[in-house]
């Protein structure tokens, strides 16, 4: 409730805010040399002007909170809350949470609870996205990182290769959580890859058959639910898990649809995040059709970044299944990939047998053949994709 109270062009606002958020706001404002009322004004303004991501904040036990806002801003804020279908308390909490996320403490770089996000993507099938996603996740876990590997492709090759069953239709899954239909904690669906080499640091979120319906389900949800941002659906689902991991690797489907937009959005550079910490890794082949597919993906990335004012970093290319014996097309294509320069070629991985054998045995490559050329190439990609 707002009541006019003379203080220049401001009015006094009485609302509620969780104690933890209020304390964090107080500390962050002091660190940045801001008055509390100015911080709240910036938070509310940015929240109203920004796209709704649908991420709810726990407001249980919210306590009285008073501040001053420019005259008329609180009425505008309440209108936005109504449009987005949230309470005023929830709207204020989201505003403050978003402001804290986008205004890091001067004493830290990237927030400690935000993992690096590696999006392995290409709309062309058969280029080795799954092998690269699995390989770099294993490399990160091998060196001591806590890693979540997300099988985002409804074909489920990644889950199958690691010996983990796909989630059956109409069960709780990543898709149900992306669509706001989750029935439990997404953590309950995560599977630990039991291998002494990774010491329980490598986890997998399995694919689900419902993933084939993801694009139309999100499209319908976006049309029917006020304030829902379809591009933020993956982030909305995975955010609660982020504090458990140092790195999240997304194995994307061969698609240029809504699901891909959501993955690209998730890999964007967040406020305060170092350049090149998160972004896209693109496996390609040394052939002409792969270059065409890369151009289509690059155009989608450019369009998404322009439409939503995002910064999305290219972490690099991986030339996969390379065999110089295939002649001029292969060698000249490799030269062309290297000539791009940005994104750079992180590694050239030969068409060798170890990956296929590891898949047949349902074993991680770095466990099955840790000293193979392919395993070392995956480590090289992981190192090159982290800055």
pLDDT at 149: 97
- Residue 65: beta bridge partners? 15
The per-residue pLDDT for range 336-347, each reduced to its tens digit, is: 888 888 899 999
Residues 55-89 have pLDDT tens digits of: 678 788 788 999 999 999 999 999 999 999 999 99
Which candidate, 255, 206, 258, 202, places its Cα nearest to that of 230?
Answer: 258
Q: Which of 106, 105, 6, 24 is nearest to 65 (CA)?
A: 24
Give the torsion sign (CA, 360, 361, 363, 369).
negative
pLDDT class of 156 with cuts at 50, 70, 90: very high
* pLDDT for position 29: 85
Cα–Cα distances (Å) from 134 to 115, 192, 257, 375, in that order, read 17, 14, 23, 11
Residue 20 has pLDDT above 80, yes or no: no
pLDDT digits (tens, 9 = 90+) for 96-115: 988 887 776 665 444 456 89
Q: What is the pLDDT of residue 158?
A: 94
In terms of phi and psi (left: phi > 0; alpha: psi -120 to 50; beta: otherwise), the region of 21 is alpha
Residue 362 DSSP symbol: T
Whether pTM > 0.75 for this model: the answer is no
- Would you put residue 191 in left (φ > 0), alpha (ψ -120 to 50) or beta? beta
Lowest mean pLDDT among 175-184, 239-248, 272-281: 175-184
Better pLDDT: 362 or 290: 362
> Which pLDDT belongs to residue 306?
93
Check residues 23 and 144 and name the one with the higher pLDDT: 144
Mean pLDDT confidence for 361-377: 92
């Amino acid at each position: 409730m707002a009541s006019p109270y003379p203080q220049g062009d401001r009015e006094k606002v009485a609302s509620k805010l969780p104690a933890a958020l209020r304390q964090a706001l107080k500390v962050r404002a002091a660190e940045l040399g801001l008055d509390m009322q100015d911080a709240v004004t910036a938070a509310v303004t940015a929240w109203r002007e920004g796209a709704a991501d649908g991420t709810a904040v726990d407001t249980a036990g919210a306590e009285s909170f008073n501040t001053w806002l420019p005259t008329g801003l609180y009425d505008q804020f309440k209108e936005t809350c109504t449009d987005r279908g949230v309470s005023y308390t929830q709207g204020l909490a989201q505003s403050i949470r978003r402001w804290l996320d986008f205004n890091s403490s001067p004493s830290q770089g990237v927030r400690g609870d935000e993992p690096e996000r590696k999006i392995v993507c290409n709309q062309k099938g058969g280029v080795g996205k799954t092998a690269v996603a699995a390989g770099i996740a294993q490399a990160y876990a091998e060196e001591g990182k806590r890693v979540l590997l997300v099988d985002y492709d409804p074909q489920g090759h990644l889950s199958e290769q690691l010996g983990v069953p796909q989630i059956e239709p109409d069960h709780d899954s990543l898709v149900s959580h992306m669509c706001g239909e989750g029935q439990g904690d997404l953590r309950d669906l995560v599977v630990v890859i039991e291998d002494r080499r990774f010491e329980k640091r490598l986890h997998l979120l399995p694919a689900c058959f419902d993933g084939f319906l993801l694009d139309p389900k999100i499209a319908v949800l976006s049309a029917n639910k006020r304030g829902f941002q379809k591009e933020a659906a993956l982030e909305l689902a995975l955010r609660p898990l982020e504090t458990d991991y140092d790195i999240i690797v997304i194995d994307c489907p061969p698609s240029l649809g809504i699901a891909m937009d959501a993955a690209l959005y998730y890999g964007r550079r967040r406020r305060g995040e170092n350049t090149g910490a998160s972004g896209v890794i693109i496996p390609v082949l040394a052939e002409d059709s792969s270059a065409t597919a890369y151009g289509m993906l690059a155009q989608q990335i450019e369009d998404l970044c322009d439409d939503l004012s995002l910064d999305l970093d290219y972490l690099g290319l991986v030339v996969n299944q390379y065999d110089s014996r295939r002649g001029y097309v292969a060698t000249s294509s490799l030269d062309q990939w290297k000539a791009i320069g940005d994104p750079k070629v992180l590694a050239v991985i030969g068409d060798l047998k170890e990956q296929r054998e590891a898949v047949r045995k349902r074993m991680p490559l770095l466990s099955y053949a840790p000293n193979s050329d392919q395993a070392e190439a995956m480590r090289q990609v992981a190192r090159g994709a982290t800055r």
